Structure 1
Amino acid sequence: MLNLSCEKLQSMKSLLISLGVLLFLNSPVTEAQTNVKIRKKDFKTVKEGFKEAWSHVSAGDDYFKERSIWYGSAYDEYRQAMVYNNVNPELNYKTGVAALYSDNKEAAADFLLKALGQDNELTDDILLMTGRALQYAGRYDEAINTLNDYLNSDVRKAKNNLSDAAKYLQECNSAIELIKDTLSVEILNVGTNLNSFADDYSPAFSSDFNTIFFATRREIKRSSISLTDGKYDENIFQSNRVNGNWNMASSAIGRLNTAYCESPLYLAPSGDELYVYTGYQNGGDIKLSIKEKGIWKSPVSAPFKINTGGAETSLTFSPSGNEVWFVTTKGKNSLGGKDIYFIRKTPKFKWSGPQNAGPNINTPFDEESVRFSEYGDTLWFSSRGHNTIGGYDVFYSVKDSSGGWSKAVNCGYPVNTPWDELFFNPDKNEKGAFYLVSNRKGTAGGLDIFHGRNVPVKTIVQGEPVQLPPEPPDTIIHRVIVESLPVKPDTVVVKDTVVVIREITPAPVLLPEAPKEIVLYLTGRVNDSETGDPVMAKVDVIDISNDMVIGTTASSDMDGSYRIKLPAKKSYMIDFRGTGFLSDMKRIDIPENYSAEFYRLDMPLVKVKVGKKVVLNNILFQTGKAILTAGSYTELDRLAGILQENSLMRIEISGHTDNTGSLGLNSRLSEERAKAVVDYLIQKGISSERLEFRGYGPQQPIADNTSAEGRARNRRVEFKILEF
């Protein structure tokens, strides 16, 4: 599936294959069978709708054969084909596999179970695929039974499939044990000021945690597409935190980003040295950039010898600065996969040779993203070995009095999930808080940066706080008492059985003498206009009187809900922006006599995809003419804003009429009106090369022309996304 490597795909004739940055997030299972054929005669049920459905099957099959990043597109096509026939076993199998290999893993189990129920011999790997999908769905008992059925079956099994099944079984059993000691933590996506629909990862923080550098594979320029996986090569972005909120990230200033791909690894406490990974060179090396007079210089060789012919993908310094810990694919005495190594300063202030961190930390599988705690007595890292519950999990190891490191301990659930969790960083600005990177459910796309915090468990009964018995000692995350080990209490996770709370209701502070505050909350849900699925979006409240943003929140990735306090009963514009969706804005007018505590505004957002058509509301013309009225400007300004936000988007503006009057006149008028909209957008600074216009007259109705209401709906202006 996702592959964050910056490998340079090179032909056998001329170039070597170069390994890239992280090399983690391979496909969730061994390659699925691609020779499963959906037969037309088995798929067809009735004539009506078949032609369109079969076109989606064919398109899905084309994507499915390409594998890699195209599984997501295959999934979208197959889902549309299922509107016509959702019981075909081959279609369900391929839809489930496409989900499993894309960002839709949580949906895979239902499709594969349906295929399995109809034909349990459909493919040799259907039990393996279904077991893995059930693991992602958190249905561990079912996953264990299904994986055991696979291992005990008589079907032909590839050697790597057998080892995969055994590992998935181990992960499911680990998950069952770790969930028994669920941690009381809240983990939320940091939002679209940092994250995008592409992969965002490898954060490096300043010592005060108010500056962040991170790697992103979002689109920056057309020429930066990786030949390996079709994604954009990684570049370094940065953001600053002001009043507790991260500003909109932008490309790092200076010469950090080059023709190669770069990821930030470690920002020195001084703030003027940034260690970066550079791809396409020697398998992938660690280099150093120096900031001089506020400008980052081009990365140069690191001042110590840790680069090999393999890929060095992670680096950190101990708090004392006397040790450098790093990850490499090609170190001596490797236990297998990527291992963690370290070098030390000698008494003569030279660096020692690399040493493997040993079996308490490394495994035959991959390790990644190594970090120290503030005092250097705890090492955080991610691993696909030990007792992971799936993919990369975050682990910690504690230094003992002799300088050795304890056996790695899993940080527990929900810090870890069947997805990948990497780049764990304790947040120095908030006790018990941390950052991590994951591709779990709730991302804007691919890998995202998340923020977690310890949550005290409180009970509210009928609106009143209930006094709970004292908590058992040492339940706060990042704190532990290790017998016989002198460990400072800032680091490790202790697991006590608690309840995970998705939405925390704070216990009210009872102040009898204080006047009762009049409160008003704007609340609602943001969802996908087509599927109804929840959408994580930034929600800005704008005061119409001064055009100032007076409040910002984000909708939940779990159910799309949001809530924000309004300062007064008046008029506002509410701006919704979700990555991968068209932004939208609605006006609300709250009268002074409004007595309810909540004002509800739900917002369906339109997902951006080529071919998508969107009706522009309130586009008005003078009767019988192609002259826009002033009432149209608000909607057209919003469209201009969308085009400015998405600089590579090309659209077609189309005019439509009802069926009254002359066909020729309607066609001409609709085209002139579409051109009037294009002319307005050009005046707003949108390049004419990004705009096309057509008049379709009455040829594409969206409603019945026999009623006045239907004719009104057909008289419209649309835009269609041509490129994105």
Structure 2
Amino acid sequence: MRIFFLLLFFLISFIATAQKTFWASKVVAFSSEYSDAKTTKENRAIQALGKPSKLPQVGISACAWQPLTQNNTQEEFLIVSFDTLMPIQQVAIAENYGQGSIVRVEAFDEFDNLKTLWINRSAPSNEIGKMLNLVLSKPTPYKVRSIKIVLNTTRTKGWTQIDAIGISQATTPIRAVVNVAKNLPAAVLKENLGSNINSAYREIAPVISPDGKTLYYTRWEHPENLGKDKNQDIWYSELQNDRKWSMARPMAAPINNTEHNAICAISPDGKTILLNNVYLKDGSMLKGVSMSTKNDRGWDFPKALAIKNFNNKSDYAEYSFSPNGRVLILTGQFRETNGGKDIYLSFQQPDGTWSEPVNAGKVINTAEDEGTPFIAADGKTLYFSTRGLSGYGSSDIFVTRRLDDTWLKWSEPENLGAGINTPEWDGYFSVSALGDYAYYSSQENSIGDEDIFKFKVPESIKPETVIQLTGGVFNYVDKKLIDAKIKVQSLTDADTVCVTFDPQTGDYKLMLPAKKTYSISASKKGFMPFSEILDFSKENNFKEIKKNIFLLPIEAGQRMTLNSVFFEQSKFDILPNSYPELDRIVVVMKENPTMEIMLEGHTDNQGDWNANLTLSKQRVEEVKKYLADKGVDMKRIQTQGYGSTRPVASNNSEEKRKFNRRVEFMIVKN
């Protein structure tokens, strides 16, 4: 029986290997490759590696190998190897341009002997490009180490390009396919947003606010744009109660000026916007990116982000930023480019500056231009446009997911499908935190040169679910709004969000990925810090949660519960997730050196009465010890354990009993 299963396993493995296509993984040698002063890795021999980047479309591509010259009377060749050593029965060559130039295909065996597989004795066809499938009558009697393609570029007019080279043991012709996202509907209803948004002019780059209620976009050469050249200005529209968009209006100065203005992204609370270019006081612009914050008087003058070694060789750039505001996603041509304009990442430093842009990697960047990045409210799902991956038009929209906290590992990009992408240029994808509708720019069926459209987002390309947390910060005593700093820390990973609450600009608003547990804290000088645990680990759907925060003024007699201090079950050992709140108390006591406090311990009524009393005393003594170890004089800390004698809720259910298990903090002297 064991032998049978082993044989079955090897048979399944053999069938899987026989059916698999192995694409070239290494360049061994080549006769020449295209290069000029304006290119980096475009059309180099390495562009023939991996899966097809152009096919099933045909035409010129920077993601294909191109010999240095056209109509070379000498033969050109390319030799590539694979991540396998096996007999083969098929070679597939993606001829994306100059089809018919291949005159010979040869193979090197495992001992580097050269074997001829095919000689082209036919005249070139009139096809621009195609997948050349060489299916052998039987598998090679030797294992193939590498493949050599020989070209006679005089056989066709213009350039010759090779997109990819694959081998297989299968006889079914290898085809180039578009990597389409799974389970997309056959048709997607795309709605032109109409004349309140679109015009006879060009509308691009929509940015929907996270709450889905304000749409910003860029409009070209409209008569109401500023400046004599009417360059490009930022316009916006608001969603009305009838679910229709208001007539769009241009943003006022200083956001719009006589130069080219464009919005790139907006923060979860809608109070900070990212703008293309650096604004100078004289009205001129420089390359870069700026940030403007909304206050009670409107949008302030955009401030440039200081990005280390920002030297973009491309004339164009786009930007997006993570929901926590600490990661900048940008496009441009910096060091380590894969060719053309790539997606890069810059990280905010402790001093507020930004790190040198780091290339996001070959999984999402190609030798063609990548652009229009948009990171969703979940901080993981990235949408962008490129023509460097197989698609349906001159530029398609793709989705990829961040795989770890480095921001440098991404899933293989998936095309949003022919129902969304068109034969024309598509890009500037934006989706609200709710994840219901997406907005993007397209030329297909547009009123003018380019319009803004929306469609209902198919489930498989939606961002992960987020929770919208909103509210205000109040003085616990008089219930009046106060400004404060708010910090939300994930207890699941390293993600942290910090915002400053200003009562003049409305509630704070945070977008937090669901299925996690968070600690929320707030602080203001003269008040005791606040913290609480928010458990969203079981939330599967978008939800708006109102969370008002009350800060206790540092005054004798004031009392508060330490909501984020935890102990091991039935023990007095402090759990590590309690440290942040206790550390905040240390800071306050050091800032107020005359303040004295009382720590009171409480339990529920489960178990032995005396044991609970002892446990409550032990727990507050442990908190006192922690504070003392951090530099607080023990003489300033009194303790008292009350066991189960002072409940604040019923003990009839676990849901209510948990409120009775607590440590309270009272200011004895300030």
Shorter-chain-normalised TM-score: which range? 0.3 to 0.5
Output the TM-score relative to the length of structure 2.
Answer: 0.41
Q: Which has a greater percent of helix?
A: 1
Output the TM-score relative to the length of structure 1.
Answer: 0.38
Q: Which has a greater percent of strand?
A: 2
Which has more radius of gyration? Answer: 2
